[in-house]
């Protein structure tokens, strides 16, 4: 599956290589054999007709581009964004507005509690309840669940065959990548 961001990255890499004197044949061969990187729009499972994608989300801009790429790759399919605010950027309130704008690109949004929130100074903490409230005020289907287990239990009944779930986290997210497909298969 080719995403716009991958095409842009490949073009930049090819231009850089050509600028360094690498022959065209070697560049073409390298691009043809490149298998992408883990945790960037990586399909982790298709369970009960639901496609589950892992993306190393760490910033609202990356989330926006990921959701735009998924919209293009899965036209007409319902897109869910499941966010674990885990990176140092997302755990802080400085980008709450941008986060709301990025997540609004999904049809359904689930936000987890902030990972190790206590390690962020209180005045700098991102408040997932505020993000969810802003999304709901904007007419979006958004829900806050404290844990990965709560997300699996709350989201599974809402998922239908053909849905795409983008799990956005830069960490293990308490095993949600395995728990969600397992629960979907049990339900089926």
Blockwise average pLDDT, block size 10, the chain, 188 residues: 57 74 74 58 91 90 92 96 88 90 97 85 89 97 96 97 95 91 92
Supply φ then ψ for residue 178, to 5 degrees: -100, -35
Residue 1 confidence (pLDDT): 42
Residue 121 confidence (pLDDT): 86
Contact (Cβ atoms closer than 8 angstroms) between residue 162 and residue 77: yes
Cβ neighbours for 175, distance < 8 A, ≥ 6 positions apart: 148
| Spatial separation of the C-alpha atoms in residues 82 and 9, rounded to whole Å | 25
The token duo for 155 is 């989201």
Residue 113 confidence (pLDDT): 87
Which DSSP symbol is given to 145? Answer: E
Residue 40 confidence (pLDDT): 61
């Amino acid at each position: 599956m080719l995403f716009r961001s991958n095409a842009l990255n490949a073009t930049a890499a090819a231009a850089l290589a050509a600028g360094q004197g690498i022959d065209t044949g070697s560049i073409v061969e390298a691009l043809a054999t490149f298998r992408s990187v883990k945790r960037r729009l990586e399909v982790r499972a298709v369970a009960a007709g639901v496609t589950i994608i892992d993306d190393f989300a760490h910033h609202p801009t990356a989330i926006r581009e990921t959701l735009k790429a998924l919209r293009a790759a899965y036209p007409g399919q319902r897109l869910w964004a499941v966010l674990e605010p885990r990176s140092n950027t997302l755990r802080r309130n400085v980008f709450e507005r941008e986060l709301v704008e990025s997540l609004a690109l999904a049809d359904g949004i689930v936000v987890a509690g902030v990972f190790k929130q206590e390690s962020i100074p209180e005045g700098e903490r991102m408040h997932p309840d505020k993000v969810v409230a802003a999304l709901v005020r904007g007419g979006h289907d958004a829900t806050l669940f404290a844990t990965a287990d709560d997300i699996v239990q709350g989201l599974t009944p809402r998922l239908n065959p053909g849905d795409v779930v983008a799990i956005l986290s830069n960490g293990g997210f308490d095993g949600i990548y395995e728990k969600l497909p397992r629960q979907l298969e049990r339900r089926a």
